[in-house]
Structure 1
Amino acid sequence: MKLEGEWVRSVARTESGILILDQRKLPWSVDWVELRSAEEAHRAIREMWTRGAPLIGAVAAYGLAMALQDDPLQLDATYARLAEARPTAINLRWALDQVRDAVRNLPLTERAEAALRRADALCDENVALNRAIGEHGLALLEELHARHPNRPLNILTHCNPGWLATVDYGTATAPIYLAHDKGLPLHVWVDETRPRNQGALLTAFELSGHGVPHSVIADNVGGLLMQRGQVDLVIVGTDRVTANGDVCNKIGTYLKALAAHDNGVPFYVALPYTTIDRSLASGDLVRIEERDAEELSWLTGPTQAGELATVMVTSSPAYNPAFDVTPARLVTGYITEQGVTARI
């Protein structure tokens, strides 16, 4: 997507590794970081230099390939190391499975190159999947706009379901980008998404770069907007959808689904097939990642002088679960690469 006027992907191969954006510094500083080993990939995923279920899967796939370049016998050990970097998002383990299965039965001398080819293919597939999600979602947005053709379509998002969370296009943002490029008038309400403010920092950054009209709102504003009729639909991404359709996504998604249900606002989840986990019957079986309390109690941003500073917002003990689960009964539909469906 567009970054400083140029079309880029969020991960790119180099001669010695891969390039990713250090998302901890966005939007204040656009810094590309080269990862040259599996351990650097693990650190980038764990410390959230890179984030978003499909993207961390891609980075992990390259991390496993880089480990095999150093030592083709490190397949299983590196797989296990990378798989535990973020426990909730299913795409991470799925991507590692894809690379491991592609090389397991090959001679040791062929493993590294085959792993890189598979990682490259996973990235290309993710772009194609997200583009297809965007096209199916575009038809939905056009249908909804036709009901109120004299005003922009108001869409509410949560967290960052954009190209920074994938290889390109994003999931929930893919229909938004395609609709904007086609000239459909729309406006996006962007939840700030505490505790890491991934909506205010990342989604808003993306939409600004693409020229999409939007407003950042506090997480608790969405219900009021829905009551006032100022939200036509909610579209979110997801880190895992279980076999019954329960949706595990960034903490706060469940509350948006409840508000949407209470106000008759359609609630859609955008996802590729790689995010479906049919091994789990329901969302109450998903392991919810609990992250460092400092993500909640400290904030980083520029001062009036333009210098980045980190400040404490509370000195009390904090509890920081990263995800919640939205029951399938609250989901209007799922926007997938195959189309819009009421069931997974």
Structure 2
Amino acid sequence: MKYDTIRAVLWEDEHLKLLDQRRLPAEETYIEYDEPLAVAGAIRDMVVRGAPAIGVTAAYGVVLAARRRYAAQPEGWREAIRADFETLAASRPTAVNLFWALERMGRVMDTVSGEPVAPLLAEAQRIHEEDVAANRRMGELGAALIAAEGRGVLTHCNTGSLATGGYGTALGVIRSAFEQQRIAQVYADETRPWLQGARLTAWELVKDGIPVTLLADGAGAALMREGRVSWLIVGSDRIAANGDVANKIGTYHAAIAARYHGVKVMVVAPTSTVDMSLPGGDRIPIESRSADEVLGCGGRPVAAPGAKAWNPAFDVTPAELIDAIVTEKGVVEQPTRAKMADMMKKPVL
């Protein structure tokens, strides 16, 4: 399909293959996995990242765990695999898709009689296929909100094929809107400290022939002031019941600037990202990562020796700063607890 040429998570020849996103854009390398602990390490160490992609990867990790445990203990594999579930669940605490995918795999595992690999692989592949289909639907719904006025859009972090099973959430909307000629230019924040915007979003858009201009994270407000963008379009790693959104650190900052400058904010995420058990964003667990990621860049120190760093991986944007949350079940404009609950009850469109 046009503007959809990338897959970061593959199941090929009975192995899981992940595009090593730490090496992009300089090198396109797939790493092969056949052991669940290594898959958990890949999630933790950012070989794969983005909430939907993490969920898909974890599902395949369960398949690898079942294959290994059943071969070693055909009668006791269910108990043995519990440790693998715990290790996968602990790999990234904020991305709720991880736990959602593990719960789905666990439900299938509980009903399996006999050899478990085939039914678990079928479920993992369903999770993967459903994610791509949901992204395409969200792309259509989100693009329809954008007036064909020729202005650009701003995005933060990476929300494309690299962060999902394929096509992307926020970048899926951007891909769809560009194909419909609703936007002419994409601006991407570089997204410190891992530079997902510079390394990954820019790479995806260039690869698909979509014009992209990179800017420093702190330049977004000036861009908005010049009237160059009509929407800030981002993804999410977890959405609370009231519509508060956890996303890559810097999203809250960008949303505040957008509100001041009259730029609309769109959050694009599958319903697997919505956590109705959490009443508000203050209950979302925020992952804290190593200070070295801020004190250095590309593995090389850049800060003054002796300086400390604060490095939350995510921040929370309150619902009142969000104009629309787009899911595969529909669009929630000006999100509230009641609107989110109504959306979650709906069937997939």
TM-score normalised over the length of structure 1: 0.91
CA-based RMSD: 1.5
Aligned residue identity for 1:313:
V
Cα contact 1:75–1:100 (8 A) shared by 2: no
Aligned residue identity for 1:76:
R
Give the deviation of 1:2 after TM superposition. Answer: 7.9
From 246, 249, 261, the equivalent of 1:248 is 246
1:84: which partner in 2? Answer: 90
Cα contact 2:296–2:302 (8 A) shared by 1: yes
What is the correspondence of 1:95-134 to structure 2 with a 5 Å cutoff? 95-107=101-113, 109-134=114-139
Question: Number of residues paired by the alignment?
Answer: 325
2:330: which partner in 1? Answer: 339
Aligned residue identity for 1:14:
E
CA–CA distance in structure 2, aligned partners of residues 131 and 45 of structure 1 = 24
Give the deviation of 1:330 after TM superposition. Answer: 0.5
Q: Establish whether residue 238 from structure 1 lines up as the match of residue 236 from structure 2.
A: yes
1:196: which partner in 2? Answer: 194
Q: Using a 3 Å threshold, how does the CA distance of structure 1 residues 28 and 189 change in structure 2: closer, same or farther? A: same
Give the deviation of 1:110 after TM superposition. Answer: 2.7
1:295: which partner in 2? Answer: 293
Aligned residue identity for 1:127:
V
Q: Using a 3 Å threshold, how does the CA distance of structure 1 residues 96 and 2 change in structure 2: closer, same or farther? A: farther
Aligned residue identity for 1:119:
A
Give the deviation of 1:137 after TM superposition. Answer: 1.4
Cα contact 1:17–1:37 (8 A) shared by 2: no
CA–CA distance in structure 2, aligned partners of residues 189 and 56 of structure 1 = 25
2:41: which partner in 1? Answer: 43
Aligned residue identity for 1:239:
D
1:191-215 superposed Cα distances (whole Å, 9 cap, x missing partner): 0111111111100000000111111
Give the deviation of 1:179 after TM superposition. Answer: 2.4
Aligned to 1:203, the other structure's residue is in SS state: helix
TM-score normalised over the length of structure 2: 0.90
1:277-328 superposed Cα distances (whole Å, 9 cap, x missing partner): 001010101111000111112222xxxxxxxxx4211132212110000000
CA–CA distance in structure 2, aligned partners of residues 178 and 2 of structure 1 = 10
From 202, 207, 210, the equivalent of 2:208 is 210
1:61-81 superposed Cα distances (whole Å, 9 cap, x missing partner): 111111111113333221111
Aligned to 1:7, the other structure's residue is in SS state: coil
Cα contact 1:222–1:256 (8 A) shared by 2: yes
CA–CA distance in structure 1, aligned partners of residues 241 and 38 of structure 2 = 33
From 19, 24, 27, the equivalent of 1:26 is 24
CA–CA distance in structure 1, aligned partners of residues 300 and 120 of structure 2 = 42
Aligned residue identity for 1:299:
C
1:305: which partner in 2? Answer: none
1:158: which partner in 2? Answer: 156
Give the deviation of 1:113 after TM superposition. Answer: 1.6
2:308: which partner in 1? Answer: 317
1:117-157 superposed Cα distances (whole Å, 9 cap, x missing partner): 1100000000000000001112122xx22xx3xxx321000
Q: Which blocks of at least 5 consecutive residues in structure 1 are unaligned?
A: 301-309
CA–CA distance in structure 2, aligned partners of residues 56 and 194 of structure 1 = 20
Cα contact 2:6–2:161 (8 A) shared by 1: no
What is the correspondence of 1:46-65 to structure 2 with a 5 Å cutoff? 46-65=44-63
CA–CA distance in structure 1, aligned partners of residues 181 and 264 of structure 2 = 22
1:75: which partner in 2? Answer: 81
Q: Establish whether residue 224 from structure 1 lines up as the match of residue 216 from structure 2.
A: no
- Select between 8-17 and 92-101 the one with higher mean Cα deviation: 8-17
CA–CA distance in structure 2, aligned partners of residues 336 and 16 of structure 1 = 32
What is the correspondence of 1:159-198 to structure 2 with a 5 Å cutoff? 159-198=157-196
Give aligned-pair identity as a percent.
43
1:78-110 superposed Cα distances (whole Å, 9 cap, x missing partner): 111100100001000000001011111322x33
Which aligned runs of 4 or more in structure 1 are off by greater than 6 angstroms? none
Give the deviation of 1:338 after TM superposition. Answer: 2.5
Aligned to 1:140, the other structure's residue is in SS state: coil
Aligned to 2:37, the other structure's residue is in SS state: helix
CA–CA distance in structure 2, aligned partners of residues 62 and 176 of structure 1 = 28
CA–CA distance in structure 1, aligned partners of residues 226 and 13 of structure 2 = 53
From 120, 135, 141, the equivalent of 1:136 is 141
Cα contact 2:5–2:208 (8 A) shared by 1: no
CA–CA distance in structure 1, aligned partners of residues 289 and 194 of structure 2 = 11
CA–CA distance in structure 1, aligned partners of residues 100 and 59 of structure 2 = 9
Q: Using a 3 Å threshold, how does the CA distance of structure 1 residues 245 and 184 change in structure 2: closer, same or farther? A: closer
